[in-house]
Structure 1
Amino acid sequence: MTVDPHVLARARARVLGVVSADASAPVPSGLTGASDGTRVWLLPQWPDGATPALLEEYDTAPMPLDRPGQQRRVLAAALRCCWTNLDDAPWPGGEAPVIDVLEVYAGMSRGGADLARRWATGELRRLSDTGWLLLDETAGTVRPGPRVALWREESLASLRDLLRRLPQPVREDAPHE
């Protein structure tokens, strides 16, 4: 039995989430590719006008989050650190130290900073699992994930305004001038 490679690629993307391939690999129909030059991430492509209810019906919610408020704040903190030139597109963005993201998040949170950092670490992992961020725990860095590449330019104005209001990362171990 042979399986159409395009059908197989769509099934993999649905089961495994965001998968990457070599940038020279063709992007199957029904998927869209988000490339950073060396890799291409395959993401489901939905017709314009697909409502959240329709996506939910197909088990492909656009932002599958367990704790949406907290995860959105962690995503915003990561973007604050990784998307340094807000006039540019957020994808592919740049790498930022995870510790900077944790500090920005702790600055946005109420309560104990240590608890906020622990919560944010778990949320970074979940956001990485769903393709919103690319987390390299070994290197201690994070950057925007391929799902960010799907944001339309006309939808970014309010996000840019929000990120401008977030605090800059300031670490206690940073050298003081």
Structure 2
Amino acid sequence: MTGAVSVPAAEPVPPGLAAVPDGPRTWLLPSWPDGATPAVLEQYELAPMPLDRSGQARRVLAAALRCCWANLDDAPWPGVPAPVPAVLDVYAGMTRGDAALAGRWATGELRRLADTGWLVLDEARGVVRTGPRTALWPHEALGPLRDLLRRMPGPSREALGDE
């Protein structure tokens, strides 16, 4: 299982899965033992998460976190919904080259990150928020991420719709 699966909150959680509550539903994610490496995926014959352009995916995830993790003193999950144009605006500030092409690639990365549980994307409403995988980040690992996000510029007022 590479993506996150959601079930009604009342459903029991099968062994080997971590439950991440999200209102009326619960996201089920594989729980790996501490210190597990990618070799565990091979041992269990599971495909790794698809990241064709991992550097780009990391930048898109950082842009989404910058927009969706409203209070960096809190945990990143569940985050707040942010307009997709705001995330794309932050991402555009981190890249060079053809802005239209970068926007299309970033939109594809948003979808892939949503498919794998790093983000929750509601394309119909045009919003994104942090995904259930961010709930499993250890607290002690969040410090450097918070520092990075504090240094990143936020989205423009136009991208937020505050023209």
Task: Please give the TM-score of this superposition, normalised by the length of structure 1.
Answer: 0.84
Match of residue 39 from structure 2: 53
- Equivalent in 94, 97, 120 of residue 111 of structure 1: 97
Deviations 1:24-45 (A, max 9, x none): 2121111000112221010011
Q: Return structure 1 stretches of 4+ with deviation > 6 angstroms.
A: none
In terms of Rg, which structure is larger? Answer: 1
Separation in 1 of the partners of 2:76 and 2:87? 16
Q: Which position in structure 2 is the counterpart of 1:123?
A: 109
What is residue 22 of structure 2 aligned with on the other side?
Answer: 36
Which structure 1 segments of 5+ residues have no match? Answer: 1-13
Unaligned runs of 5+ in 2: none
Q: In 2, distance between residues paired with 1:23 and 1:99?
A: 31
Question: Are 1:103 and 1:171, in contact at CA under 8 Å, matched by a contact in 2?
Answer: no
Number of aligned residue pairs: give it.
161
What TM-score, normalized by structure 2, do the two folds share? 0.91
Cα distance, 1:57–1:152 mapped onto 2, change above 3 Å: same
- Aligned in 2, Cα 1:50/1:60: closer, same or farther, shift over 3 Å? farther
Instruction: Quote how far apart the aligned CAs of 1:171 are.
Output: 4.5
- Identical pairs, percent: 68
Alignment-derived partner of residue 13 in structure 2: 27
* Alpha carbons of structure 1 residues 154 and 171: separation in structure 2 relative to 1, 3 Å: same
Cα separation, 1, equivalents of 2:89 and 2:142: 24
The within-5 A match list for 1:1-177 is: 14=1, 17-58=3-44, 59-61=46-48, 63-172=49-158, 174-175=161-162
Instruction: Tell me, in whole angstroms, the C-alpha distance in 1 between the residues paired with 2:53 and 2:43.
Output: 20
Q: What is the alpha-carbon root mean square deviation over aligned residues?
A: 1.6
Deviation at 1:157, TM superposition (A): 0.5
SS at match of 2:28: strand
Q: CA deviation at 1:91?
A: 0.5
